[in-house]
Structure 1
Amino acid sequence: MFFVVSKVVFFLITPSNLLIFLSLAGVILLAVTRLRRTGTALAVVGTVGLLLAGMFPLSEIVLLPLEQRFPQYPLDGPAPTGIIMLGGGIEAGLSEARDQVVVNDAGERPIYFADLARRYPRSRLVFSGGSGFIGGGISEADIVSRQADTIGLPRSRVILENRSRNTHENATFSAALVHPKPGERWLLLTSAWHMPRAIGCFRQAGFTVEAFPFDYRTKGWGDLLHFHGFSSDGLLQFDLAMKEWIGLVAYRLAGYIPDWLPGPASPSPSGSANR
């Protein structure tokens, strides 16, 4: 139920959608009713909101605290026991229809997974990704299984988790699948802007992991002065960042993460050591 509700609610409150709805409602009120003050207010809020989110650095203001939360992982350390990559970078439906790997704007995920698999030939590999569509469908893990050679993954080494539909289930099902032991080092691979929520979910599931962030959408704090040449770019980033902030709040209220904004030094909940 949480999965279905989250999909429906976020569609309705996605910032770009909401701002368009407000603008449209304002125009309708101005055209067909006498509520001119209300109509004008809605139209102005919607239009100005689209302008700020699309052209101005509002998206960077809300995105940078997420992306800067965890430092980049040093590659000169000892080999990890295992590497877990979360789904989200592969368009499963298109990949199935075209019988090839089709990635989206988070396509760095399978690239880095394959690179780390090559760097650490003895590390265990876990891909966690089911279907993100209401009603089911082919999972990302199934595509990885079929297209492992294309991605550059050693199929014989990859443990596939194909039931998870969200980050909470990624963590819960991965922990149940690999049974991490005390003292083991596991890397968690996901987009930098998604890492706080992902780390929080794994901590709450009792699975201690180290963050390996990538798929950055900003260059750093200097982007607070960045203006977008295309409003579609700013709106895309703003929607992405707000979805993540809303997800953090919802997951904290649901008890899926131990902190409002998990970070490297966040305290672990009781019993969160590797099982």
Structure 2
Amino acid sequence: MFFVLSKVLWFLAAPSNLLLLLVLAGAGLGLRWPHLGFGTCAAAGLMLLVGGVSPLASLVFGPLENRFPEFRDDGAPVAGIVVLGGAVETGLSSARDQLVVNDAGERMIALGDLARRHPQAVVVFSGGSGRLTGDGAVSESAIVRRHAASLGVSPERITYEDRSRNTRENAAFSAELVKPKPGQRWLLVTSAWHMPRAMGCFRKAGFAATAYPVDYRTGPGAVALHSTAGDGLFELDVAVREWLGLVAYRASGYTETVFPGP
């Protein structure tokens, strides 16, 4: 139920969708109350412009991305590496018979790089299908298994967790699959902005991991304008979704704190 509700409610709550719905609502109101309708359209249009072009998205992203520091290799042995799904376009990958990644593709780059640098480590890819209609859906794990060689990794080298649909399940199913031992160092690879929620879920699952953030969207302290409103609104949607996800996960008991930190 949580999975389905999160998908439906997010469609309505995403800033880009919500503001477009306000524009449509204003147009409808304008048929009877012209001043109210025009005011609603103008306000929503202004918010679309501010959200899309201004540095707002960078300001919302910053605390998420900077919560966990970049990984610095201190030479300690690495027992395993867990890479979270979310970077693979399963439909396009199946249709084009090649690995197609989205804007979080750095997760897959890190998988290949870390597997090469730590040849003795266990490599886990955790990714099922995030589609609401799971029947016949291809999991991310199935695509990665099929195209792992393109990352420079033998498909047999990777342990695949293919049931998870969200971050909580990533953590719970990965812990169940590999049963990490106390004192082992496991690297957790996901987008920097997603790392607080991911680490909170892994801690809740009893899986002690070291953050390995990738896929940064902002520079250190950087606040920049966006060249197109589409770029800014996309980034704002991602950041707002993550903040809402942190609150929802804490309220559901999936994490111990609203904003997990180091």
* Fold conserved between structures, TM > 0.5: yes
Instruction: Name which of 70, 73, 86 aligns with 1:72.
Output: 70
Compute the displacement of 1:41 (Å).
3.7
Q: TM-score, normalised by structure 2?
A: 0.96
Q: How many residues align?
A: 260
**Paired position in structure 2 for 1:127:** 125
- Map 1:158-173 → 2, pairs under 5 A: 158-173=158-173
Counterpart-to-counterpart distance in 2, 1:128 and 1:178: 11
- How far apart, CA to CA, are the structure 2 residues paired with 1:68 and 1:146? 34
Question: Match of 1:213, SS?
Answer: strand
Q: Deviations over 1:215-257 (max 9, x none)?
A: 001112122xx11121111111000000100111110100001
In structure 1, list runs of 5 or more residues that go unmatched: 265-275
**TM-score normalised by L of structure 1:** 0.92
**CA distance in structure 2 between the partners assigned to 1:207 and 1:159 by the alignment:** 16
Q: How does 1:1-275 map to 2 (within 5 A)?
A: 1-30=1-30, 32-34=31-33, 36-136=34-134, 137-223=137-223, 226-264=224-262
Contact 1:91 1:103 in 2 (8 A): yes
Which secondary structure state, in structure 1, belongs to the residue aligned with residue 83 of structure 2? strand
Deviations 1:159-202, CA, capped at 9 Å, x for gaps: 10000000000000000001111111110000000000000000
Deviation at 1:156, TM superposition (A): 2.0
Using the TM superposition, give the Cα deviation of residue 42 of structure 1 relative to its aligned residue in structure 2, in angstroms: 2.1
Which moved further from structure 2: 72-81 or 229-238?
Answer: 72-81
Q: Percent identity?
A: 54
Deviation at 1:208, TM superposition (A): 0.7
Report the CA distance between 1:93 and its aligned residue.
Answer: 1.3
What stretches of structure 2 of length at least 5 have no aligned partner?
none
RMSD of aligned alpha carbons = 1.1
Preserved CA contact (<8 Å) 1:19 1:45: no
Deviation of 1:37 after TM superposition, in Å, equals 4.6
The worse-fitting range, judged by mean Cα deviation, of 208-217 and 226-235 is 226-235
| 1:95-149, Cα deviation, whole Å (9 max, x unpaired) | 1111110111111111111100000000111000000101110000001111111
Contact 1:193/1:244 (CA < 8 Å) preserved in 2? yes
